[in-house]
Each structure stands twice: as structure tokens, then as C-alpha cells.
Amino acid sequence: MSELTRLTLAEALEGLKTRRFSAVEVARAHIEAIEAARALNAYVLETPDRALAMAEASDRRIAAGEARPLEGAALGIKDLFCTEGVRSTAGSRILGDFKPTYESTVTANLWADGAVMLGKLNMDEFAMGSSNETSAFGPVISPWRSRGTNRPLSPGGSSGGSAAAVAADLALGATATDTGGSIRQPASLTGTVGIKPTYGRCSRWGIVAFASSLDQAGPIAKTVEDAAILLTSMSGHDPKDSTSLPVETPDFRSFVGRSVKGLRIGVPKEYRADGMPPEIEALWASGVAWLKDAGCEVVDVSLPHTRYALPAYYIIAPAEASSNLARYDGMRYGLRVEAPTLAETYEATRAAGLGEEVRRRVLIGAYVLSAGYYDAYYLKAQKVRRRIADDFAQAFGQVDALLTPTAPSAAFGLGDNAADPVSMYLNDIFTVTVNLAGLPGLSVPAGLDAQGLPLGLQLIGRALDEGLLFQLGAVLERAADFRARPEPWWRAS
């Protein structure tokens, strides 16, 4: 039944609805694919029994004519989402064998719409990383390989497991989160579609926090249409999350296929970074041409504070992380390393339970929040954040959306940036501004580099204008006609 795993989500839902195959058959095909792809390390926990039980329930609903919007859809769940009774670790040792007694709102929404859980997906520890190398469970290996080499590549991060699973047909779609680019960058590196919705569009309740004012859930999927279907189910106001927006959720799928004629699209001149690979510059130019061919007017715009975005982000995010991670002290749940005194127990537990990158960011965050440095760093970074949001507001007074590259390069080798955190942080150069401003951003696969690796284009929209991004994204998707797939080398492992 391996052909079932190659279906898009939309195709699978149509086939289930018309009874061409069953939800159990879809689940079983994906379970077999996951078992054959363990070399990728995309899943940190497989839940085949639960998946089959949920699929059986879906088949009964379909037979009774009671199918819900995602009935029988086999999905992977990033391990940052708490799942009731199922181990949830955020990719960290410090949470140990933590099994939540509650369900995150986003995953509860998916189950209420009939989705099936295949398992929990690997990720950078506490979502801190751009390569999925900081996970306590080891790195995810991208299903893609450069031409003529077997060198293992990064799928991007922190949602590397989600992106790799979708790219390798180990799930029809996956949940992910984006704090500074962690949906869009891995989507770009793996030839998948990823959207970070407007801050507050999806509830953060039950998602392990990294940086609370930046974190946002969203889907990684095979197509723009699939991403629209998933985001519709994932979204919705949640009174348990004070940052959740009390707005209606549109049928995002209805925007796919609409005309974009007459829309004005901005190209930010500040995104032409020094040293940008010529193939990314060329892809960006192709994106401009495709939108023009569809009837859009493309104009240059300026976002003057863009160059301050990365420094501001890497002050604000670690500051919030240091506050959020203070709760992991070995006292109530997760790992505990006994020591003679309380302070030494805290120290030993955190030293054993937290990885190097997480410790680095917690220390940075504690420093910028400390007396004497708060005004110089944290407060100034928040002022820069306001300026960045103002830049976008002015740009959107002239245009309907923005077009940029998603990432500054194609997939890089595992270990390439391990000794240089700043080089790793530069992977977020085109994405962090969107999080700082709370805006939606969509990455669409649009081409291959000289080594045969995927490259993505990013669309940025006004707050709560995800529908327009799906509208434009479908145009880019159709024009790019991206059909490349990774060779399934992992099946022979």
C-alpha cells in the first residue's frame, strides 16, 4: 500500500470519502513507511496501536456518513505539542518520560476533526536550533542528498522531524512551530510547504514554551492546498491562551485557486543580503516573473530596520527562554539528579538535562535581563522590534504582500555550523522579522540548486491575511511546478 503514502492530504481525504481505501489502510501504509525509514530519525516515538485504533474509529464514522474534515488523515506531531498520555519531551532529556495528563489545543482540534496520530516527531531541543542537531534523540537526517554524494544533510530546524517526515512520505502532514523560522526554513530545505500563521491564530496552550511572544504553531504539508486544510483545523480562539485572537477561522482552502490579478507585491530591497548565492537571487527573480505573469504588480519596498532583526531576536528570544525554562528544576516532573543541597540539585539536574545550545541561550537570556543590562539590551531590542513592525505597517500601506527568499541557502551538511553558533543563527535572516512583527509567512518550494536540493520562496502578509498568502502561494506553486522528490535511499538501510 506504499502508493497511499505518496498521496497529498487532499487526495487522501477524497479517496477516504469515496471509500476507495480505508483509514486503516492509510494508517498501516504510513506505519510501514515509518518503520522502513528509521535511518532518518524523524520520529522519536511511534504510536502504531493508537494510530490504528483512531483509524478504525474514522472508518466507522465514514461508513455512517459522519465524516469530519480530517477524517482518517494520518499526521505526525512535533514533540513540542503535549499529547495526553503520550510521552512529550520537547526533544530534551530534562522532561524524561513526561506523559501529559492533558492535550494541547491544536492537537485536540485535529483529533476533533478526525485526524489520526502516527507518532511524535523529532525536533531541536526546546525548539532552539536551525538544523535539528540539538535534539536529545540525535539529529534528523534529511531525506534529500546532494548529487553524487551520500553526505548526510540537515532538514533544517527546529521542526526538522516534521519537514523530513512530510518530505519522505512518512505522514500526510505534520504539526510544527515557528519562533524565528522553524516552520519555514525546514520547509524550504526539504521541498515542502510551511506556514507560520499570524501570532494568536493558533492557540499556544499545551505547547512547550520557548519564547512566548514569538512562538506560533502551524503546519508543514506537501502542497499549498494541504497546508490550507490543516491550518483551518489547527486554528481557532482558545480562552485558555490569553494571546489567542478572538476571530473567526476562514476556510483557507477556498482561497487556493483564486485569481491574484491586480494585487501589488513588494520586494524588500534589504533582503538582498551580501553573499547571497546567485541561484537564490535567480529564484527570487523567477518568483517575481511568475507573479507578474499572473497579473500582479511588483514594486520595490524598503524595510529599513531589517538589519537589526537578528540581533534583536537573539536578545528577546533567549530572554523569554530563560524565564520559561526556569520551571525545569527537577522538583515536580522529568529528570532529577540528587545532590547534597537544593541549589546543587538544581545545578546537577539542569547540567545533565539541558543540551549545550539550550544552556547557551538561557545564559544569554539571564544576562540581558540582569540588573544593569536590561535597559542596554532587552529594552533596546524591544524598541527595535517596534520599529520592525512599523516598517511592515508602512510597506503594507503600499502593497498587499511581500515576496522574499525563505532561507539563505539550500540544505547544508550535518555538523557544518556546529562549531559556529552565529553562522547557524544566520539561517534565520529572512524569517525572524515575521515573528518579531507577529505576521503570517508562507514558504513554497520553487526550485532546485545546482546540487539538486530544494529552495523555497517566502510570502509575507498582513496580520490575519493567511488566505491571501494561500492564494498567492498556489500561483507560485503552479508556476514553479516543483515535482522533485528525494530518492528513498533510507529504505535500504
The rounded distance, in Å, linking the Cα atoms of 136 and 284 is: 36
**DSSP per position, 153-169:** B---SSSHHHHHHHHTT
- SS3 string, 295-361, reads CCEEEEECCCCHHHHHHHHHHHHHHHHHHHHHHCCCCCCCCCCCCCCHHHHHHHHHHHHCCHHHHHH
Nearest partner of 122 among 42, 35, 229, 40, judged by Cα: 42
Find the distance separating the first CA and the last CA of the chain, reported in whole Å.
20
* 182 is known as an active-site residue: yes
Nearest partner of 190 among 11, 41, 469, 412, judged by Cα: 412
| β-strands 116-121, 441-448 pairing | unpaired
* 286 is known as an active-site residue: no
Beta strands in 83-215 (DSSP E): 116-121, 173-178, 193-196
Place of cell 476507495: 20
Residue 110's H or E segment, with its range, is: helix 105-112
Q: Give me the half-sphere count of Cα atoms (radius 13 Å) on the Cβ side of residue 242.
A: 2
* 196 is known as an active-site residue: no
Give whole-number Cα distances, 32 to 9, 29, 111, in Å: 18, 5, 22
Catalytic entry in 22, 58, 78, 203: 78
Nearest partner of 17 among 54, 52, 51, 58, judged by Cα: 58
The rounded distance, in Å, linking the Cα atoms of 92 and 96 is: 7
Catalytic entry in 58, 104, 135, 182: 182
- Residue 27 class from Cβ within 10 Å (0-12 exposed, 13-18 middle, 19+ buried)? buried
340: its cell numbers:
547534597
Q: Count H helices, E strands: the chain? A: 15, 11
The rounded distance, in Å, linking the Cα atoms of 418 and 112 is: 41
Buried b (16+ CB within 10 A) or exposed e, 125-145: bbbbbbbbbbbbbebbbbbbb
Handedness of CA 230, 236, 240, 243 (dihedral sign): positive
Catalytic entry in 22, 158, 322, 443: 158
Q: Which residues are catalytic?
A: 78, 158, 182
